[in-house]
Amino acid sequence: MRIKIKKTAKNKGVPSAFIVNIGNLKYPRGFKDWYFTTSKSEALGMALQEWKDLQVSPDE
């Protein structure tokens, strides 16, 4: 499973929002959604948490 920052939005040269790819899936999952944070590691953590939530089956 490959995890990487796909896109970065900048405001006056400072990164302010991120789109993350995990495998071949884009996170956040919504249309034109971004993770608005100034930290790449925080955006990766939010994407991994969303990925984990989707992996848990409803039976558990």
Chunked into runs of 10 residues, the chain (60 residues) has average pLDDT values of 94 95 93 94 94 77
pLDDT of residue 16: 96
pLDDT of residue 32: 92
Distance, CA of 14 to CA of 17 (rounded, Å): 9
Distance, CA of 19 to CA of 47 (rounded, Å): 9
Please, which residues bridge with residue 10 across strands? 15
Please measure the distance between the N-terminal and C-terminal CA atoms of the chain and give it in whole angstroms.
23
pLDDT of residue 58: 65
Q: What is the DSSP letter of 33?
A: -
Q: Is the dihedral of CA 5, 11, 13, 16 positive or negative?
A: negative
